């Protein structure tokens, strides 16, 4: 059986940067805390915990006076920075620069009086941070069905969580543009609703779709490695399974099942942008150990 790791899989550069910052901070003697899981991959979180990284929440800030607290790649709302200042917490800001740029753009449009619509998952850490830059007034939608929550009478700008799928974003943008146009025609004579759509999906995430489809299609079977809470992992696994229905999602090699591989001559191992290379290597080795190459006499 041939087992191949997807060459396009693994950490995006924003996650690499955050992990590098964490490891650099952990090289000293002082304690380091992470405001929430540093990434949505339990195996990597466990590895960093062994190096001394402790996960905390906003409710812990008061007891962390004078301590260093890492802001993960997802970013945080402005209220977190105010809370840190209030309690004398030293923030180590590892927000992904792509996310920081989205925050800045959202704030700019919000200050100009626009209704901010965000295509994303309401409870996702990144979205909570983005919404915080609108005084928690942004409208968050995750599907075409939720477009009804948007006030079509207001000038509006549509943004996206950086790890959402591009196809749905553009479908939402198309429908919003059509509906605001219809609203104008039916209500005013010669005025127009000001509507903008800003594609803020990470290029490294969206660019993986094509490569993943090609990789998955040429395998008999694909093992996709990702944390089950990873938004990016869910999106990419859906892409993988569409290209190859014989695809399986695992968080670690311990979840592999021998019956999955029956009749397979080639196996691909891929993962999310929050999946470490070492974990995909470990899954590859586990598959190879399940089906060792016979020794010739």
Q: Tens digits of per-residue pLDDT, 203-223?
A: 877 778 889 999 999 999 999
Measured CA to CA, the distance from residue 7 to residue 49 in angstroms comes to 28
CA distances, 296 to each of 263, 266, 293 (Å):
22, 21, 9
* 98-161+166-200 CATH choice from 1.10.10.350, 3.40.1010.20, 3.40.50.970, 3.90.950.20: 3.40.1010.20
Q: What CATH code is assigned to 2-9+206-290?
A: 3.40.1010.20
Which CATH architecture fits 13-95?
Answer: 3-Layer(aba) Sandwich (3.40)
CA 188 to chain centre: 41
Mean pLDDT, the chain, integer: 91
The residues annotated with a catalytic role in the active site are: 126
Does residue 295 carry a pLDDT above 80?
Answer: no
Q: Are 242 and 265 in contact (CB under 8 A)?
A: no
Q: What is the pTM of this model?
A: 0.84
Does residue 184 carry a pLDDT above 70?
Answer: no
Sign for the pseudo-dihedral over CA of 174, 179, 185, 188 = negative
Structure confidence at residue 269 as a pLDDT band (50, 70, 90):
very high
* Residue 249 token pair: 């999602």
């Amino acid at each position: 059986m041939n087992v191949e790791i997807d060459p396009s899989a693994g950490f995006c550069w924003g996650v690499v940067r955050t992990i590098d910052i964490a490891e650099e901070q952990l090289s000293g003697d002082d304690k380091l805390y992470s405001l929430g899981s540093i990434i949505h991959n339990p195996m990597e979180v466990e590895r960093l915990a062994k190096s001394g990284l402790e996960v905390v929440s906003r409710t812990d800030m008061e007891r962390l006076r004078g301590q260093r607290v890492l802001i993960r790649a997802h970013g945080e709302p402005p209220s977190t920075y105010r809370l840190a200042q209030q309690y004398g917490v030293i923030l180590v800001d590892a927000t992904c620069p792509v996310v920081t740029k989205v925050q800045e753009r959202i704030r700019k449009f919000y200050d100009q009086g626009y209704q901010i619509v965000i295509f994303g998952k309401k409870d996702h850490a990144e979205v909570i941070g983005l919404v915080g830059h609108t005084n928690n007034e942004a409208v968050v939608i995750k599907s075409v069905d939720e477009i009804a929550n948007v006030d079509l009478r207001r000038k509006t700008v549509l943004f996206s969580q950086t790890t959402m799928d591009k196809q749905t974003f553009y479908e939402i943008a198309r429908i919003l543009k059509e509906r605001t146009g219809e609203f104008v025609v039916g209500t005013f004579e010669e005025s127009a609703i000001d509507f903008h759509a800003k594609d803020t999906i990470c290029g490294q995430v969206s660019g993986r779709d094509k490569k993943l489809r090609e990789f998955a299609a040429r395998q008999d079977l694909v093992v996709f490695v990702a944390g089950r809470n990873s938004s990016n992992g869910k999106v990419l696994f859906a892409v993988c399974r569409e290209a190859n229905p014989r695809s399986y999602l695992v968080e670690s090699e311990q979840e592999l099942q021998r019956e999955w591989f029956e009749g397979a001559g080639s196996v691909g191992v891929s993962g999310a942008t929050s999946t470490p290379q070492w974990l995909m290597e470990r899954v590859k080795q586990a598959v190879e150990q399940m089906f060792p190459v016979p020794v010739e006499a």
